Amino acid sequence: MQKTQAEEALGMELPTRRVESFHYTDLRTMLREIPDNASGSTGGNYAPLVDTHLLSFNDGKLADDQVLPKGVTLSTDVAKATSSDINDAIVGMNAVTSGDAISLVIEGNATMEKPLGLGHFSSNESRNACYHKVLIKAGSEAQVISRHTSKDGVASLANTVTEIELEKDAVANWFVIQQESISANRLARINVSLAENAKLNLFILNAGGKLVRQEVKVDVAGEGAHVDIKGVNLIGDDAHIDVTTVLDHNVPNTTANELFRNVVAGNGHGVFQGQIKVAQIAQKTDAQMACNTLLLTDDGDFSAKPELEIFADDVLCAHGATVTDIDDDHLFYLRARGIKEKTARGLLIKAFVDEVVEEIGVSEELEEAFIGIIDSWLDKNA
């Protein structure tokens, strides 16, 4: 097979749909050409969503005006992770693309007053890749907002690889807020490992971007660990948004709960691949996964692949997936009460996704901010 411009530029092979984990996102075809490495910002900087202890990355470069809370140690002396496995193509691309790598060590209750912010902004048609390595020490708790934005109309290609290690009893409340411009592409991977009784609460909100692939890989490696992943994917016209999660249960007595709600408008393509793996020794695993989709138009499509791979017998694992349009009965109920069809549809879509945000249990300020993002997307797209 002849190499594409992108493959030449990166010096690596990109996965096609023949690679099972990229079945619905043929990276090789969708990214035949990629822009050059970023050579610095060409105007505009990251604008925060809420007040945070901010680390901002403009076109992959860490800005030096950070003010960190007590208990958080920053280091820039980190090597990026790399992988030659085709399934880890995003990690491989991250390693060969320009952009800063940082490591954070979080101790105590460092982010109690206000969350830690990792703000990303792409200002021009170039590619950048950040790498974040985060260690949350035993018994510590951290709240982190990792947000991704770009200048309107630029066809940037951003890549973020995040590695989070949770020590014993540590808690991570991690929010991924993706609001790239509708012409920007973003590839991301989050790897999490959990020690004994650690808790991961991950929330993913996708409300922008052209080609977006968010991978999440969780290694549940400590007994009593709990994983909670919730997400809202708003897939607009021309967008291709893929969320792929793998939960690897490797020890007994762990629990996981995964819920995604998706809305597809225009001719958007939505993808959800969720895999729950339970190793033979991981008895008493309780893992549940649900993925519900509202497909608003016949031009859009949604593909779901919720997988269970189970080698232990004493487990409770379940997944459910639905794809449908707005329920006629619900619509009728509202219309019978004098609400216009358009308004009624809007209300029902909003209720469908807001429910997830309400369930994550965050501060009022954050909840309002997240719902605000959803509302403005719905105004424009649905």
Partner 1 sequence: MPAVQETIDTVAQLDVDKYKYGFSTDIENDMAPKGLSEEVIRFISAKKEEPEWMLQWRLDAYERWKTMDEPEWARVDYPKIDFNDIYYYAAPKNFEDGPKSLDEVDPELLKTYEKLGIPLKEQELLAGVRRHDEPSQLDENPSDNVYASGRVAVDAVFDSVSVVTTFKAELAKSGVIFCSISDAIKEHPEIVKKYLATVVPVSDNYYSALNCAVFTDGSFVYIPEGVRCPMELSTYFRINAENTGQFERTLIIAEKGSYVSYLEGCTAPQRDENQLHAAVVELITMEDAEIKYSTVQNWYPGDENGKGGIYNFVTKRGDCRGDNSKISWTQVETGSAITWKYPSCILRGDGSQGEFYSIAVSNGAQQVDSGTKMIHLGKNTKSRIISKGISAGRSSNTYRGQVSAHKKASDARNFTQCDSLLIGDQCGAHTVPYIEAKNSTAQFEHEATTSKISDDQLFYCMQRGIPEEEAIALIVNGFVKDVIQELPMEFAVEAQKLISISLEGSVG
Cα 201 to chain center, whole Å? 12
- Burial (CB count <10 Å: 0-12, 13-18, 19+), residue 172: buried
Select from 5, 45, 280, 376 the one that contacts partner 1 (CB under 8 A): 280
Residue 316 binds partner 1 (CB under 8 A): yes
Residue type, 283: Q
Residue in 314, 329, 364, 379 binding partner 1, rule: CB under 8 A: 314
- Is 320 a binding residue for partner 1 by CB under 8 A? The answer is yes
Residue 21 found at the interface with partner 1 (CB under 8 A): no
Does 251 engage in binding with partner 1 (CB under 8 A)? no
Residue 324 within binding range of partner 1, rule CB under 8 A: yes
- Which of 257, 303, 368, 375 touches partner 1 (CB under 8 A)? 303
What backbone torsions phi and psi does residue 344 show, to the nearest 5 degrees? -60, -45
Is the CB of 2 or the CB of 324 nearer to partner 1? 324
Q: Residue 231 or residue 306: which is nearer to partner 1 going by CB?
A: 306
CA triple 45-51-54, angle to 5 deg: 50
The crossing angle, in degrees rounded to 10, of helices 328-336 and 341-359 is: 120
Interaction of residue 104 with partner 1, rule CB under 8 A: no
The upper half-sphere exposure of residue 189, i.e. CA atoms within 13 Å in the direction of its Cβ, equals 21
Task: Pick one of 36, 238, 325, 359: the residue that binds partner 1 (CB under 8 A).
Answer: 325
In the set 295, 356, 373, 374, which binds partner 1 (CB under 8 A)?
A: 295
CB of residue 262 vs partner 1: minimum separation in angstroms? 11
Counting contacts by CB under 8 A, is residue 296 touching partner 1? yes
Q: Nearest-CA neighbor of 256 among 283, 289, 233?
A: 289
| CB distance 244 to 303 below 8 Å | no
| Cβ proximity of 33 and 5 under 8 Å | yes
The number of CA neighbours under 13 Å toward the Cβ of 146 is 25
Non-local CB neighbours of 251 within 8 Å, separated by 6+ positions: 220, 221, 222, 223, 225, 281, 282
323 binds partner 1 (CB under 8 A): yes
Minimum distance of partner 1 from residue 212's CB (angstroms): 19
Q: Is 20 in the site for partner 1 (CB under 8 A)?
A: yes
Q: Which stretch binds partner 1 (CB under 8 A): 187-195, 199-207, 220-228, 309-317?
A: 309-317
Q: For binding to partner 1 (CB under 8 A), which residues are involved? A: 20, 23, 280, 283, 293, 295-325
